[in-house]
Structures are given as C-alpha cells and as structure tokens.
Structure 1
Amino acid sequence: MTSLPTSDDLEDRTLQLLRTAQATDPADAAELRDRVVLMHRPMALRVAHRFEGRGVEADDLRQVALLGLVLAVNRFRPETGYAFAAYAIPTISGELKRYFRDHGWAVRPPRAVQETRLSLRAARPGLEQRLGRAPDAGESAAAVGRSAVAVRAAEDADRHYRWVSLDAPVSDDTSGTLGDTLTDSAAVEAFNRVELRIFLQPAVARLETHEREILRLRFGENLTQREIGQQIGASQMQVSRLLAAIFEQLRRELTAEPAPAGCRLIRADESG
C-alpha cells in the first residue's frame, strides 16, 4: 500500500521545483511554480478558513489566500534555507489582513475599538459557555480587561462592519429606502462632519501639544502656512513638513497601520 506524502516530502519536492525554476527559462519556470501553487493550495485554504465569520465572504477570502500563495511562490528563494511553509503562511495571512483592512470595515473605527472588538470575539465563546447565556457589557468588559463603555463601542462597531445598501428598505412595512432619507444635502454634510470628528478625536488627542496647536491654527483659524510660521516662529517650509508629518500620523491612526521602524513626527524645535 502506497503511503501518503509527509510534510517533509512536500517540502523537499517544493524546494526541488523552485530551485529548478530558478535555473530554467521563464516559460518552464512559470509551469513549475504553478505546480508548487497547486501542491500548497490546501494549506492556503486552511489559512483562509481561520479568517471566516468576520464579515467577509468565504469565497473572497479563499481568492485572497490563493493570491497570497502565488505571491509567496514567486518571492520565495530556496537558498535562504527557510522552509517554504514558514514563509508562505505569514505571506498569505498578511494578504488576508490587508484585505480586511481595505475592504472589511464599512466605516473604520479607531484602532482601540478594533482591538477591543477582536478581544471580544476571542473571549465570547468561552464566556458564553461558562455563563450559559450571552454576557452583558460588564461581564464582557471584565473578561477582556476593558471598560463597559469600550465594550459597547466595540459591539456597535461590530454591527456596522459591513455596508448596508442605500436601496435597503427602512422597515418591512414601507417602500421607502435608506437612500430616500438622505435627500437633505446640508444634513448629510453636517452628519459627515460629526462622524469625522468622532473618528479623529482620539487620534488628535494623542498628538503633542504643539502639533494640536498647528492643526488648530490651520483648520480652526484658517491660517496659511506662512501665517502659522509667523505664529510659532518657523519657516513656511518647516510648517509644511510638520503638517505632512501630522497628517501621516493621523492617517496611520485611522487606518490602524503601524508606523515604520524609527518613524516619528518632527518636533517643532527639531525641524529646519
């Protein structure tokens, strides 16, 4: 009886194919890499399965995972001495996480809310099993080490994880749609300003005092960069660099992107 291939056999075969692909012409190399993709397709689908149930269609997750597998096959270099699976799994997971970052949230909440939401998702199954019912906000807060207010904010964000069509009916007993309620452009604009302020407030609060003052002068007082420079004793070029750094920090806060290693905002007394 023929034994099934082991993980070591699969790894050896993978490295052999990829080494051969490096040494052959592009057409043959593409065929060899395609074979590697097919060999590791079950692994990619297993990784995708871990991300299911978070508001994104399973078929989309599988497609993204397979794309990540293709990227891993194309980028992997056998001479590094690493196992292919050890390289491919983080690559596939990274593509899935980027997909969630770019397509998952209908409106992206602050990073702290996202982190609380993930903690709740991990803790809730065990908590429900122990209590024999759905936990209340206080019980959930104790389980994840957050405040009840933070838990309620995360639960509210979870309910708004996916887009709702503007063609959706307002209620079962009316033909009106959500889009019909957005006819007042002034009201919509006011709502957008309030929404933006809610999302920006925690990120702005984490800025340093002089950075918040620059934002106030620019958007509160509507001063030009030259006028701001006159107020804080800096050149227009220095103000431009400071604003660019502040905007980048806020963008990373709102998109939950880690700052590059060594990256920090330019302080007012360091610019020049």
Structure 2
Amino acid sequence: MSAEQGSSKVLTLAESESAPHALDALGPIDEGPALVATPAPEVPETAALDTRTLSRSLFLRLAVLDEDSPERAYVRDTLIELNLPLVRYAAARFRSRNEPMEDIVQVGTIGLIKAIDRFDCERGVEFPTFAMPTVVGEIKRFFRDTSWSVRVPRRLQELRLALTKAGDELSQKLDRSPTVSELAAVLGVSEEDVVDGLAVGNAYTASSLDSPAPEDDGGEGSLADRLGYEDTALEGVEYRESLKPLLAKLPPRERRIIMLRFFANMTQSQIGEEVGISQMHVSRLLTRTLAQLREGLISD
C-alpha cells in the first residue's frame, strides 16, 4: 500500500480501554514459518491509555506483520487515525493562508502516512518528534507548488480560475478554443480583463534561467543564453551623439585638441607637437574645454 493510500478500516479506540484489550481487537498476528513475533509490551490496566503508549504498541505489532497481511493494513490505518491530531496541530500553523484548512489537513495526512511507513520505534525517538518535520514539510511543499511565483492581485487570481473553467466548458461546447470576446460575454467582463486574466497565468510559475531554451527558438542552450548583455559601446554612441552639437560650437583649435585626445587617443605631448603648442598649454585647454562640455551636457 502506498503512502498516499488510506483505508476506511479504522479501529476506534476508547480511552477507557486498556492496551491489551485494544490490541486483542486487532485479531491474531499472521506469522509465517520463519517469522518470530515480538510481543508488544503490556501496559498496566490501572494506567491511563495515552496516544503515545498505544502508538508504540501498534508500531511494535506493525513491525512483525507481513507486508501484504490484512492485519498489517488494519494496524497501519489505526495508527493513521490515532495520530491525526498531530496533523491538525501542524495544519493550524498555516491557518492564515488562503487555502481551505481541509486541504491543508489532507496534505499533512500524506506526510503522516509517509512518517508511519518510515518510523522505527527501536531508535528511541518518540513518533510525534519524528513525524512533525515530515508533516510540516509536506504542507510547505504543497504551498510552494500551488503559490504564485510573482505576486498577482487577488482579483486577477480569481479571474484566471473563472477563465480556466469557462474556457474548458466553451471548448467542449464549441469544439474549439473560445475567443476573447466569447469568454468576456460568458463571464460578463471586458475583453481587456480577459486578456489580463489570461496573461497572469505566466506569473503562476517562474522558469529557471538554467532551463532549456524553447524548441521554437532553436532549442539549444539555456534561457540565460538568450538574454541580452550590456554593450558598453552603445553608451559611447549615446555620449558622442549628445556631444556633437556642443563640439560644433567649440573654437577650431579646442575642437581639434578634443578629437585628437579622445578619438585619436594621442597623448598631450603628441597633441602639442601636432598643434604647435606646449604640453602644459594643451593640458590647460583640455581642462577648460572639458568643463565647458560637461556644463553643456548637464544644462541640456
């Protein structure tokens, strides 16, 4: 029996019963020829029957039963029913979520069943301590798998659900996919709202940049390989286009010095030789001209 399966055969135990009497109700152990049963520890009849004591007795009995034995399924289902309060306790931590509490308890029960199937009472750990991380982990996984990757307004989330239902019904009725106008008419909303509701479906799940590229885009590499990168040369083009009208207003000598320095990559000494002035003079002209250009860019 898988972890997700449960059974309606659940043993109802009253707290007034003693442990030996409760175990007798389960019937005899189906022992194979090579299987030696480990007797369950007896609890004094005068002691109160608590869940942990009974659970331990049932786990000891479960360990000696054959995998396909009906008695084993019976004991297992009793353990599930007996420990359901543990699931409800864990589910109560998530009551602030928008999901129905019934769904949260159902998911937590799956975690409880998994914990029961893996539990070994000989390890000296109490079952609630062992089971709680599995139950809570199953509930958290449920929220992770059913949550929106990008925050979407509640109105659009509800609209998307309505569109999905209406789309399925219209597809069966029309034998084709419904149009935006048909969906809008059925739901009584505008076509713009329908488009928005259909678009928010992309926010339900987020694709990893390491995931393969779509087949219609070549199907090679990852999504990250399709992303653009920052081209520093484009920034230079923008600066030059902004400087063109300012350079045109400069005196011929200053404009030539700027061109030789920043476009021909000449040193100040080389510029001085080219223009026929000292390197010191070139430095002063560059400082003054650059200040004028900077002021012109800021004012624009």
Q: What's the TM-score, normalizing by structure 1?
A: 0.44
Q: Radius of gyration: which is bigger?
A: 2
**Which fold has the larger relative contact order, with Cα–Cα distance below 8 Å and residues 6 or more apart in sequence?**
1
